[in-house]
Structures are given as structure tokens and as C-alpha cells.
Amino acid sequence: MFKWLEKNLPKIVLAPAVGLISWFVYGFVLWTLYISFTNSKILPKYELWGVGQYVKLWASRKWLISVDNLLVFTALFLIFCIVIGIILAIFLDQKIRAEGVLRTIYLYPMALSFIVTGTAWKWILNPSLGIQKMFIDWGFENFTFNWLVDREMAIYTIVIAGVWQSAGFVMALFLAGLRSVEDEIVKAAKIDGAGLFTVYWKILIPMMRPVFFTSFVILVHISIKSYDLIVALTQGGPGISTTMPALFMTQAAFHKSQVGLSAASAMMMFMAVAAVIIPYLYSELRRENAS
């Protein structure tokens, strides 16, 4: 008995983690998947109903707006975060004075919650006393900036706040990537007569492919899950113009008693994340095995 215990001790110690994750991650996802095939309303029902919830989901105007917003948000969020992140990383890599201070400033939003960020930006962007008033008081009397209350433009305020929060993170990833390149490579290129611009454009940036890939995955992941920021900034409004899948899911589940429908929307989000993450994990694992 004691021998057996000693021999299997490592596996026994592993058991809590594996058990908890099996139950709370895999078990729960399967439960949600099952419920998405039932006609559950306020409470879960367990008789199967087929793909009705998915049909309902994709016929729902609100869901379609959510998906549309998600695509717009993700595209802009990705582009701005990556472009700003690369520019800042390359510029900071030029033996800048006070690099530490600047880096700290670029990255501190990552330490704040999206609720704090959203609260701050909501105040800055509010039309009556925020940026709009600032410019009017400065003498630009016809200046208007009311995106926050404009159905067409409100989604872009979420982009502004989201980029503000996450661009520094991309900067940190690229800076770490650039710093890990051997000095020899850059020196050799310079001896061959390449200018600084060519060194970056032709050599260093192409070498950053894994960093691009990582940033892409992380940012898409953040944007699919984005919930807090929208709650704090617009609550999905004006109307439902800035609603997103994560918001749709919680509202259907906890406010509208559409448990089946919310499970279906959660599974759509799950599949979207899986489509991005599985290739990523696969390639990371292959790289690790190769090295």
C-alpha cells in the first residue's frame, strides 16, 4: 500500500488540477453544447430539440449586429494595436533616453481593468463636458465629437479605448522580439551597406513573424471575449448599436431567460476562439519539439 502510494504520488498530486479542469472546463463546455441543442428557456431542459437554437440565433437581428460589430472592432483593433505597437517598439529600440519611463507609460493601461478604462473614456468622450467642450472652449465653436451617442459611430469609441488599453502590450511583445535578435545579424547587414530602414524593413520585421502571429492570436482572443469594456462604455447602446457576442450571451442567459439561445451563442464564440487557438497551439508545440 505504502509502496503503491509512493510510486503514484506524482499522479495523485496532479489529480486536483486535472480533475478540476476536466469538470469545470471540458465538462461545462460539453454541458453548454448539449443545452444548445435543447429548447431551454428559463431553466435547462434535457430533451433534445435539434439545431433550432442555432437557426434562431442566425435569424436574430441582434446577433447579426453583434457579429458585424465584432468583425469591425476586431479588424480595427488588430490594425491599430499592431501598427502602433511596432512603431513604438522600433522607436524605443534606438537607444532612447528615458526608455524605461516611456515603456512604463505605454504599458500601464494593461494593469487597469476594462471597467476603470471604460469609466474614464466615457467621461472623456461624453459630448456635454468632455473633449467636445474642450475644443469649443478653445475657440473651435463648431467642433462636434459625439461618437459615444451616435449609433453609427459609437462602435469606434470602443476601438479607441480598446487600442489605448492593449497597444502597449503589443509594443512589449515586439520589443522583446527585437531584443532577442543577435546583434551580429544587424552588424553584418550594416557592413553590407544596408541603411537602418532597410535593416528593419527587409530583415528584422520579417524575422518577427512569430511575434506577429502571437499578437494576432492574443488580440483576436481579447476582442472575441470583449465584454467589460462595452458594459462600462456603452452598455451596447445607443439602442443595440454596439452590442457584441459576449454581451448578447449574458443578456440572453441572465436577463431574457433564453438559456438555449445563449448556449448556442456561447458555442459560436467557443468555435471562433478554437479556430484561432488550435492552429496556434499546434504550431507552438511543433516549434518546441523541434528545438
Partner 1 sequence: MQAKTSSSNYKQLEQKSRYTNIFLRWFLYFVLILFASYFIFPLYVMVVTSLKTMEEIRQGTLLTWPSGLNFDAWAVAWGGRGYGAGDTFLKPYFWNSLKMVIPAVFFSTFIGAMTGYVLTKWRFKGDSWVFLFLLFGCFIPFQAILLPMARTLGALGISNSIIGLVLVHTVYGIPFTTLFFRNYYVSIPTELVKAARIDGAGFFKIFFKILLPISAPIIVVTVIWQFTQIWNDFLFGSTFSFGEAAPIQVALNNMVLSSTSVKEYNVDMASAIIAGIPTLIVYVLAGKYFIRGLTSGAVKG
Q: How far apart are the first and last CA of the chain?
A: 41
Question: Among 76, 158, 208, 259, which residue interacts with partner 1 (rule: CB under 8 A)?
Answer: 259
Question: Residue 78 corresponds to which cell in the numbers above?
Answer: 488588430
**Which of 29, 51, 64, 207 touches partner 1 (CB under 8 A)?**
29
State yes or no: residue 87 binds partner 1 (CB under 8 A).
yes
Q: Does 140 bind partner 1 (CB under 8 A)?
A: no
Among 58, 108, 140, 201, the residue binding partner 1 under the rule CB under 8 A is 108
Q: Is residue 264 a contact partner of residue 54, using CB atoms and an 8 Å limit?
A: yes
Shortest distance, CB of residue 262 to partner 1, whole angstroms? Answer: 7
Joined together, the cell numbers standing for residue 148 give 459615444
Select from 2, 3, 4, 17 the one that contacts partner 1 (CB under 8 A): 17
Nearest to partner 1 of 148, 211 (CB atom): 211
Which residues within the stretch 221-250 sit at the binding site for partner 1 (CB under 8 A)? 221, 224-225, 227-228, 231-232, 235, 245-246, 249-250
Minimum Å gap between C-beta 134 and partner 1 is: 4
Name which of 159 and 263 has its Cβ closer to partner 1.
263
**Identity of residue 72:** V
Rounded CA-CA distance 170/208 in Å is 12
Find the part of the chain contacting partner 1 (CB under 8 A) among 70-78, 90-98, 183-191, 201-209.
90-98
Please identify, using beta-carbon distances, which residue of 64 and 235 lies nearer to partner 1.
235
Name the 3-class secondary structure at 138.
coil
Work out whether 124 is an interface residue with partner 1 (CB under 8 A).
yes
Of 52, 25, 48, 54, give the one whose Cα is nearest residue 35.
48
Please count the CA atoms within 13 angstroms of the CA of 97 that sit on its side-chain side.
0
Using CB under 8 A, which of the segments 29-37, 48-56, 72-80, 145-153 binds partner 1?
A: 29-37
Q: Are 229 and 117 in contact (CB under 8 A)?
A: yes
Minimum CB distance to partner 1 smaller for 46 or for 152: 46
Q: Is 71 among the residues that bind partner 1 (CB under 8 A)?
A: no
Neighbours of 69 (CB within 10 A): 24
Q: Is 35 in the site for partner 1 (CB under 8 A)?
A: yes
114 within 8 A of 229, measured Cβ to Cβ: yes
- Cβ-in-10-Å burial (0-12, 13-18, 19+) of 85 comes to buried
CB of 103 closer than 8 Å to CB of 174: no
Which 159-218 positions form the footprint of partner 1 (CB under 8 A)?
164, 168-169, 172-173, 176, 211, 214, 217-218
Nearest to partner 1 of 11, 152 (CB atom)? 11
C-beta of 78 vs 269, nearer to partner 1 = 269
Residue 18 binding partner 1, by CB under 8 A: yes
Q: What is the tally of helices (H) and strands (E) in the chain?
A: 15, 0
What gap in Å lies between CA 281 and CA 276, rounded to an integer?
Answer: 9
Question: How many residues in the shown chain lie near partner 1 by CB under 8 A?
Answer: 93
Query: DSSP code of 83?
Result: H
